[in-house]
Each structure stands twice: as C-alpha cells, then as structure tokens.
Amino acid sequence: MLRAYRTEIDPSFEQRQTINQTIGTCRWIYNKFIETNQNFHKTGQSYMNGFAFSKWMNNVYLPNNPNKHWIKQSASKAVKQSIMNAHRAYQTFFKNKKGYPKFKKKSGIGSYYLIGTIHVQRHRIRLPKLGWIQLKEKGYIPTNNIKSATVIREFDRYYVSVLIDCEPSPLFKPKQTEGIGIDLGLKEAVFTPSGVKIRSFKTNQTIVRLDKSLKRQQRKLSRKKKGSHNWYKQLLKVQRLYR
C-alpha cells in the first residue's frame, strides 16, 4: 500500500535557489513541449510525443543552443517528469477532445518530482541535487521503502511529500464514543452530552486580531497591480496571515 507523507522543510539559501531554479526549468520544459507541438501543427507535421521530445531536446536542441546549459543543472528525473506531464495533458486532450494544454505561468506555487537516491533520517532528508535538508517535523516520515519524493514551494515556504510503500494496516472497528455538536453561530462553539462547553472561537482575541489584519491586507492587495513586484510582496503577507 502506497502512502504519502507531507511535511515542511527548512532548506538553506543555496538549496532554496536550487529548488526555485528546478521549478522554473520544469515550467520552461513543459511550455517548450506545448510550443513545439503547436509549431508542428501549424506546419502540418505530426505530433511529437514525450519520448521523441526528450530525445530531440538532448540530441538536437541543447547541442545547438549552448545558452540553455542551465537546463542540465536541474535534476534529470524532474525534467523528464515535466515532459511526461505535458505528454499526458495532450493525451487527455486527444481522448476527450477538450481541455487543450495551456502554458504554465510564473507564480509563487510550484513543485517537481524526484526518484533515485532518497534517504530519510529522523530530522532530515537527502534529495538529489539538494543533499541533506532539515525537516521541521521530526520523526514523521518513515525511513524505509521510499519510492519517490515531490518538492513543493508555496510562496515563501517549502514542503516535501514522500511516497512510502507501507504494509497494509489491519482493519479495526473504532470504539463507540459520545456525539459532539458544533455550532459556530451560538455562544458556545462545542457542546457535549456530558455538559462540557467550549466558548465560541469568535471570542478568541488572537483570532479576532488576525482576522482584522487579514481583511486589511486583502484590501491592500486588491489595490495592487496584479503580477507586479509590489503585488507579489503583498500576496506573501496575505498568505502568511492565512497560515
């Protein structure tokens, strides 16, 4: 049974640069696949699948474009997976006759896939091209039977999702417990049949303060030009407040 374990990581400055560069490379490769097949279609040539595109990229395009050497600096498995993602997007389009693949835009969110030499210890994980990275949640990810990993960036925070081949857990019947009622619109947020009450979360001063601050920062974001540097900085503030 395969199970994914996702947790936040704390990469160094150099590791963050490598992650950002790899995400950018994968986005560029994905868009290049779409652009190439669009040009083929316009000139009456047949569709180039993912395997043919990978060979063309390595044997024709890169040797004739030495200024694209930065592509080779990223993890090869991540680049190949990006090609196959674009290939599958086309296959879905051919099958369903709708949902033509779209170019990926630059954003604060991105990810890439890795297989190969991946090791996990209690407090850190070793990934290709990155080396050892500190885990913020220690002892959560199993250390054996690792199949793959996905590195994820969500604005200014980074995560890793590790796929583990686990033994299927035996089925069990949960013990019957008393019911719990929740209603955020009343004075008490949680009420149990035994009489235990928890006051509404709306009265928590920390949450009230954060909610006001979030609304204020959202209004500031709405006044920024979307896609600009100031808009992106303001978006990071809104994301931090959400968390």
SS (H, E, C) 160-201: EEEEEECCCCCCCCCCCCCCCEECCCCCEEEECCCCCEEECH
User: How confident is the model at residue 98, as a pLDDT?
Assistant: 84
User: How confident is the model at residue 242, as a pLDDT?
Assistant: 84
Q: Are residues 61 and 20 in the same domain?
A: yes
Q: Are residues 124 and 83 in the same domain?
A: yes
Residue ranges making up the domain that contains 217: 181-242
Greater pLDDT, 213 or 166: 213
Q: Are residues 114 and 14 in the same domain?
A: yes
Instruction: Say yes or no to pLDDT of 233 above 80.
Output: yes
Burial of residue 127, with CB atoms counted within 10 A of its CB: 0-12 exposed, 13-18 middle, 19 or more buried: buried
Please give the model's pTM, rounded to 2 decimal places. Answer: 0.78
The average pLDDT across 165-178 equals 72
Q: Are residues 236 and 155 in the same domain?
A: no
Domain final residue, candidates 121, 148, 172: 172
User: How confident is the model at residue 202, as a pLDDT?
Assistant: 64
Mean pLDDT estimate for the chain: 88
Domain final residue, candidates 172, 197, 218: 172
For residue 133, what are the CA distances in angstroms to 16, 101, 201?
A: 10, 34, 36
The average pLDDT across 147-158 equals 92
The average pLDDT across 43-66 equals 93
Q: Are residues 42 and 162 in the same domain?
A: yes
Task: Read off the pLDDT band of 235 (50, 70, 90).
Answer: confident
The average pLDDT across 159-188 equals 74
Rounded Cα distance, 11 and 160, in Å:
11
Instruction: Say yes or no to pLDDT of 186 above 80.
Output: no
User: How confident is the model at residue 192, as a pLDDT?
Assistant: 65
Q: Are residues 57 and 19 in the same domain?
A: yes
Q: Are residues 204 and 185 in the same domain?
A: yes
Q: Are residues 74 and 189 in the same domain?
A: no
Pairing of strands 146-154, 131-135: unpaired
**Total domain count for the chain?**
2
Instruction: Say yes or no to pLDDT of 170 above 80.
Output: no
Task: Read off the pLDDT band of 183 (50, 70, 90).
Answer: low
Q: What percent of the chain has pLDDT over 70?
A: 86
Q: Are residues 197 and 162 in the same domain?
A: no
Greater pLDDT, 49 or 184: 49
Domain final residue, candidates 172, 199, 216: 172
Instruction: Say yes or no to pLDDT of 110 above 80.
Output: yes
Rounded Cα distance, 101 and 87, in Å:
9
Instruction: Say yes or no to pLDDT of 196 above 90.
Output: no
Q: Are residues 160 and 96 in the same domain?
A: yes
Instruction: Say yes or no to pLDDT of 62 above 70.
Output: yes
Q: Are residues 65 and 97 in the same domain?
A: yes
Classified as helix, coil or strand, 155 is coil
Q: Are residues 195 and 157 in the same domain?
A: no
| Helices and strands (H and E) in the chain: how many | 6, 10
Q: Are 157 and 135 in contact (CB under 8 A)?
A: no
